[in-house]
Chain A
Amino acid sequence: MAGSTPASLSAEAPAQSAPAQPVRRFSPAADAWRRFRRHRLAFVSLCVLTTLILAVIFGPLIWRVPINEIDFGSKLEGPTFVHPLGTDDLGQDLLARLLYGGRISLAVGLAAMSVAVTVGVLVGALAGMSSGRVDAFLMWVTDLFLSLPQLPLLLLVIYLFRDKLKTIIGPEGGTFVLVIAIIGGLRWMPVARLVRAQFLSLREKEFVEAARALGASKLRQVVRHILPNALGPVIVAGTIDVAAAILAESTLSFLGLGFPPDTPTWGRVLFDAKDYLDIAPHWALFPGAAIFLAVLAINFIGDGLRDALDPRRVIG
C-alpha cells in the first residue's frame, strides 16, 4: 500500500505519508548495531577485544611453550625471537604465561559480571514489582552495600575464607569461585537500582496493563513484557562491570591476595614483576598493557552500547 496512497488521503492519515519514500526497515538489533558502528572508538575497541579473546582462547594452542618451564639460562631476558615478550626471573616464557593468564583474567571478568547482573536484576525486579516495605528494605540494603568500602571488604573476605575453600575445591578453583562470588557480590547495586527504576516506570505502561488485563501472571508480565524493555541499560552496566571485575581481580592479584603464584593472571604477573622494575621493565609492561587494553576496550564498548541502545538518541 505504501507509496501508492493518493495524496488526498494523506490529510486524514498523516502517519502514512512517512513511508512514501522507500525506507529500509531495521530490526532493533540491526538498528543498534548500525548505531554502534557509528561510535568509531567503540568499534575499534570491539575489534581489539575480539582479538584479545581469540588470542587467549587459541593462543596457547598455537604458541605451544609450557607456562612453567624453568630455564635459568635465559632468565629476565628482554623480547627475543625465542621469547617474543621476554622471560621472568625463572626464565619462564612471558607470552605463554600472559596468554594462559588472560583466559583466567577475562573469565573472571565475565563470570563476576554474570553474578553481579543476576543478583542485581533479581533484587531490582523484586523491589520494582513490590512496592512499600519490601521495596524500601531492598533499597536500604542496596544503599548500605553501596557505602561499603569495597576493596578492604574484598580483601577481608579473601583473607578469612581462602584457606577453607582451597582445601575444598583446590587452590585454583577455590580462588576462582571465591573471587567471582565476592566481586560479583559487591558490584550488583548499580544494576539493581537501574532495574528498579526501569521497572517502576515500565510497569505502569499501557502494554503491561494490556498484558495484565489479558490475565498474564505476574511472572509472565515481568519475563515477557517488562524485562526485555529494561534490558538496554542493564547490558551497558553489565559491560562496564566486566571491566571493573577485571580491574578488581588484577588488583587482588597485584596485592598478592588473589590467585596462587603458579596461576599467572595478568595482575599476578605484575605483582611478581614489580620488584624487578629496574632490571626487567618488559616483565611489568606487557601484563600492565594487557590489563589496560582490555579494560579500556570494554569501557569504550560500554560507551558505544549506551549510544546504540538508547532509543531516545538519534544518530544518523
Chain B
Amino acid sequence: MSRQYLIRRLLIAIPAVFGISIVLFSVLAMAPGDPFEELATNPAIPPEVRMALRAKFGLDDPIWQRYLHWLLAMLQGDWGFSFTSRMDVDKLILQRLPTTLVVIGSSQLLAIIVAIPVGVLAARRPYSIFDQIANTFAFIGFSLPTFFTGLLLILVFSVQLDWLPFVYRADIPGSGLPWIWEHVKQSIMPVTVLGLFQAASLVRYVRSAVLDVIKLDYVTTARSKGIGERKVIVKHVVRNALIPVVTLVALQMPVVFGGAIVTEQIFRVPGIGSLLISAMQSNDTPVVMGVTFVFACLVIMFNLIADILYGWLDPRIAFR
C-alpha cells in the first residue's frame, strides 16, 4: 500500500470530522434555552449586567465565531465540567471508555466468529435447508430488538436459573483466576446480546459476498487443480470474499454504538453509553455533548481504519 493512499484517506477524513462537528454544533445552537434565562426573570439583576455577561461569554458573537471557538475547545480536550460528577468531562469519559471498547470489541469478535462460518456454509449450498434455516434465524436475529433480548436473557439466566449476574460491576475485589472468571461471567450476557444482533446482519453480507466469489473462474481453476474442497473454500474463496465484509463491519459501527448504549443501559455496564443516558436524565449538557462527540469520532476512526484495511487487503483499491 502506498503512502499516497494513506495520506489521501486521512485527508478525506478531515472534512468528515468538520461536517460532523458542524452538524453537532448546529443542533446545539438551534436548541432552545438560554443559559442566562434565569437572570432575565430575576428583578434584582439589571438587563445591562445580563447583556454584559452575554458579551463576556461570547453569546452575541457571530455564529461562525462561536463555532470556531467551540471547535477549538473540543479539539483541545476542553470539554467542560460535569455538574453531577464534579469532575472534568474528558477525564470522566476516559474513565468509562475502556469498558465500552472492551464490550463492543468482544461482541464484534463474537459476531465475526459466528457469522463467517455460518455465512460461508450457507453460501456453499444456496437455497439448501441449512441456508434457509440460517436465513430465517438471521431475520429473527435482527428483528429482535437488543433491549428485548437483553431482558429475555436476564429473565432466563439471572432470574430463573440464577447462573449469571445481571448487574455489571467494574470494581470486583480480588485478583487472579477467580477475578478473571467473575469478569467473564458478567460480560457473557451483554456481549452475547450485542454480538448475536451483529452476527445476524453480518451472516447475510458474508453469504452474498461468498456467493459473488464462488462462481468465479479462478475458483474453478483451483478445484480443477485437485486442491481439496476445504482448502479451496478457506484459502481461495473466503479470503477474497471477506474483503468487502471488512468495510461492512466498519460501516455497521454506528449501529453497534446504538446497540451498545442500549445493552449498557440494560446490564448497567459503566461505559460511555450508560453515562450518556444518565447525563441526559440529570440534564448534564457538557457530558452529553462530550459523549456524542466521542461517538462521532469513534465512527469516523473506524471508517478510516476500514478504508486503510481495505486498501491493504485489496491493492487494486489503492490505485484507483
Stretch at the interface among A13-21, A88-96, A121-129, A296-304: A296-304
Residue numbers in B under 8 Å from A270 (CB-CB): 147-148, 151
Q: Is the CB of B292 within 8 A of A153?
A: yes
Which residue of chain A has the shortest Cβ distance to B28 in the bound complex?
A160
Is B224 located at the chain interface by the 8 A CB criterion? Answer: no
Q: Is the CB of B152 within 8 A of A159?
A: no
- Tally of A-B residue pairs with Cβ under 8 A? 130
Stretch at the interface among A23-31, A191-199, A284-292: A284-292
Cα-based distance from A278 to B262 in the complex (angstroms):
20
Cα-based distance from A254 to B144 in the complex (angstroms):
14
Most buried by B among A146, A156, A251, A303: A156
Cα-based distance from A160 to B289 in the complex (angstroms):
10
Which residue of chain B has the shortest Cβ distance to A257 in the bound complex?
B280
Q: Is the CB of B258 within 8 A of A151?
A: yes
Q: Mark B293-305, 1 if CB is under 8 A from A, else 0.
A: 0011011100100
Residue numbers in A under 8 Å from B31 (CB-CB): 160-161, 164
Cα-based distance from A274 to B298 in the complex (angstroms):
30
Q: What count of chain B residues pass the 8 Å CB interface test?
A: 48
Most buried by B among A152, A247, A288, A292: A152
* With A152-B291, A159-B280, A161-B31: A144-B143 Cβ-Cβ less than 8 Å: no
Residue numbers in B under 8 Å from A119 (CB-CB): none
Q: Mark A228-255, 1 if CB is under 8 A from B, else 0.
A: 0000000000000001000100110011
Q: Is the CB of B142 within 8 A of A292?
A: no
Residue numbers in B under 8 Å from A285 (CB-CB): 155
How far apart are B292's CB and chain A's nearest CB, in angstroms?
A: 5
Cα-based distance from A127 to B114 in the complex (angstroms):
39
How far apart are B217's CB and chain A's nearest CB, in angstroms?
A: 23
How far apart are A301's CB and chain B's nearest CB, in angstroms?
A: 11
From A159, A255, A278, B261 is in contact (CB under 8 Å) with A255
From B15, B140, B151, B295, A284 is in contact (CB under 8 Å) with B151
* With A251-B145, A277-B154, A288-B151: A150-B258 Cβ-Cβ less than 8 Å: yes
Cα-based distance from A155 to B24 in the complex (angstroms):
12
Is A295 located at the chain interface by the 8 A CB criterion? Answer: yes
Is A54 located at the chain interface by the 8 A CB criterion? Answer: no
Is B277 located at the chain interface by the 8 A CB criterion? Answer: yes
Residue numbers in A under 8 Å from B255 (CB-CB): 150
Is A149 located at the chain interface by the 8 A CB criterion? Answer: yes
Q: Is the CB of A144 within 8 A of B154?
A: no
* With A152-B292, A156-B27, A277-B151: A250-B145 Cβ-Cβ less than 8 Å: yes
Q: Is the CB of B143 within 8 A of A296?
A: yes
From A144, A163, A278, A281, B32 is in contact (CB under 8 Å) with A163
Task: Taking A148-B296, A149-B258 as given, write out 12 further A-B residue pairs in contact, using a Cβ cutoff of 8 Å, ordered by the A residue number.
Answer: A144-B20, A151-B261, A151-B262, A153-B23, A164-B33, A255-B277, A270-B151, A277-B151, A291-B145, A292-B143, A296-B144, A299-B139
